[in-house]
Amino acid sequence: MNSKAELSGRTIVLAVTGGVAAYKSAELARLLIKEGARVRVVMTEAAAHFIGAATFQAITGEPVWSDLWDARMPNGMAHIDLTRDAQLLLIAPATADCIAKLVQGRADDLLSTLCLARDATCALMVAPAMNRQMWEHPATARNMNTLRGDGAIVVGPAAGEQACGEVGLGRMVEPAELLDAVLAHFTPKTMAGRRVLITAGPTAEAIDPVRVVTNLSSGRMGYALACAAARAGAEVTLISGPTGLAKPFGVERVDVSSALSMHEAVLSRYAACDVFIAVAAVADYRPAAPSERKIKKSADKLSIDMVRNPDILADVAARADAPFCVGFAAESHDLDTYAQGKRAAKKLPLVVGNLVADGLGGEDNAVVLYDAEGRHPLVRAPKPVIARAILEHISRLLKD
Ligand code: CTP
């Protein structure tokens, strides 16, 4: 889940070492650049067996560095200068050998020397990638402990099928997830220690085994909030109706379908949370008696008897142990009146209102925040940007 130019003004040194996953680092470089970062690539000699420097040069528009004795840097000190204006040194993939060298503080090639010469303003993030036996070896486990103790941020490895044919822990985390980790690193931790529960997406109410009543909610706003909350340091559980969206990195997702199953999933979790954000477009009604068999088109007319679904947000907000509850109001007209009305009716400290024409299903949104102090309009922006602004508002209200 991206937002525009989130890394703008940042310089990231992307170091590529000799693992099969090196081919994925080209995609990672592209993603970082798309977010506005300046990316300077350093490759080890071994990395060149897996991917060419020309690929990175073309993607980043910058020369690629691999030789400790490279004289292209104005003062001839690539091992010092490359990280001086960088805020992050990201090693992806990081081989077992590279990690061992970091732990020992060796300085026998450009990358290891860069790591040692790096100052405190440039964080080190490492995405290990290796055969599962190498990962499980006590020497690697020892090295990883030391590396973490030295302050490195370790992302992964992921589990799955490996290039060698074995299955287990050792795959490099996918580029999109690494991008997420980088974005999280640069996000102020305004929600650290908070547990956040979010509902998102539409619900689907069964008519028969193959048909449902649903709505046009894409789930994007709820997912953007889950993603932004996780990046801001919160522990996030996302109760999601059916959407085609990928699970945001670092978020626990619980998949549900109907309003009743969403209600149940929320009730069993809300008490352990500090904040509940109800973004889901929950169906207000469900077919009273879904048919167990597929309904045949024999009659000329079909009426479906509908009954009310529970109001999940109102139910939670009314409880004595309710967390800080945030509601959404999507209206076609009279936004101020209806949104303020919902805030009062459901006894919510905060309601996020938008006109359906402005947000439902789209990439952007224009919203107004309604709290005890009044209305706070936010300018139209991509949903991830809106999500960050909503969370900043929530974290301010939580502090008051
Ligand atoms: N909500 C909920 N459970 C429901 C219905 C809505 O949790 N069964 C939550 C939504 O996630 C959203 C807010 O309540 O945060 C929307 O309020 P609501 O008054 O239900 O909106 P509408 O269904 O659009 O109501 P109305 O038809 O009265 O406009």
342 lines ligand 1 (CB under 6 A): yes
258 lines ligand 1 (CB under 6 A): no
What does the pLDDT read at residue 2? 43
316 lines ligand 1 (CB under 6 A): no
282 lines ligand 1 (CB under 6 A): yes
Residues assigned a catalytic role: 164
What distance in angstroms lies between residue 329's CA and the mean position of ligand 1's atoms?
A: 7
198 lines ligand 1 (CB under 6 A): no
What does the pLDDT read at residue 17? 97
What distance in angstroms lies between residue 227's CA and the mean position of ligand 1's atoms?
A: 22
265 lines ligand 1 (CB under 6 A): no
What does the pLDDT read at residue 359? 54
Ordered by where they begin, the domains of the chain are: 11-186 (3.40.50.1950), 195-399 (3.40.50.10300)
Q: Is the pLDDT of residue 358 over 70?
A: no
Q: Which of 215, 261, 270, 312 best tests ligand 1's pocket when mutated (most atoms within 8 Å of CB)? A: 312
What does the mean pLDDT of the chain come to? 93
Q: Over the stretch 281-322, which tens digit does the pLDDT of each residue have?
A: 999 999 999 999 999 998 899 999 999 999 999 999 999 999
What distance in angstroms lies between residue 358's CA and the mean position of ligand 1's atoms?
A: 18
Residue 275 in contact with residue 324, Cβ under 8 Å? yes
CA distances from 364 to 183, 328, 382 (A): 20, 16, 4
| Residue from 350, 279, 357 nearest 312 by CA | 279
Atom of ligand 1 nearest to the CA of 338: 29
What does the pLDDT read at residue 3? 47
What distance in angstroms lies between residue 279's CA and the mean position of ligand 1's atoms?
A: 9
Mean pLDDT of 50-61: 96
3-class SS string, the chain: CCCCCCCCCCEEEEEECCCCCHHHHHHHHHHHHHCCCEEEEEECCHHHHCCCHHHHHHHHCCCCECCCCCCCCCCCCHHHHHHHCCCEEEEEEECHHHHHHHHHCCCCCHHHHHHHHCCCCCEEEEEECCCHHHHHCHHHHHHHHHHHHCCCEECCCEEEECCCCCEEEEECCCHHHHHHHHHHHHCCCCCCCCEEEEEECECCEEEECCEEECCCCCCHHHHHHHHHHHHCCCEEEEEECCCCCCCCCCEEEEECCCHHHHHHHHHCCHHHCCEEEECCECCCEEECCCCCCCCCCCCCCCCCCEEECCCHHHHHHCCCCCCEEEEEEEECCCHHHHHHHHHHHCCCCEEEEEEHHHHCCCCEECCEEEECCEEEECCCEEHHHHHHHHHHHHHHHHHC
26 lines ligand 1 (CB under 6 A): no
d(CA 47, CA 325): 50
What does the pLDDT read at residue 212? 97
What distance in angstroms lies between residue 127's CA and the mean position of ligand 1's atoms?
A: 42
* Closest residue to atom 19 of ligand 1, CA basis: 342
d(CA 135, CA 97): 11
Q: Over the stretch 244-267, which tens digit does the pLDDT of each residue have?
A: 999 998 899 999 999 999 999 999
Q: Over the stretch 130-148, which tens digit does the pLDDT of each residue have?
A: 999 999 999 999 999 999 9
Q: Over the stretch 370-392, which tens digit does the pLDDT of each residue have?
A: 999 999 999 998 888 899 999 99
Q: Which of 342, 350, 352 best tests ligand 1's pocket when mutated (most atoms within 8 Å of CB)? A: 342
* Closest residue to atom 4 of ligand 1, CA basis: 311
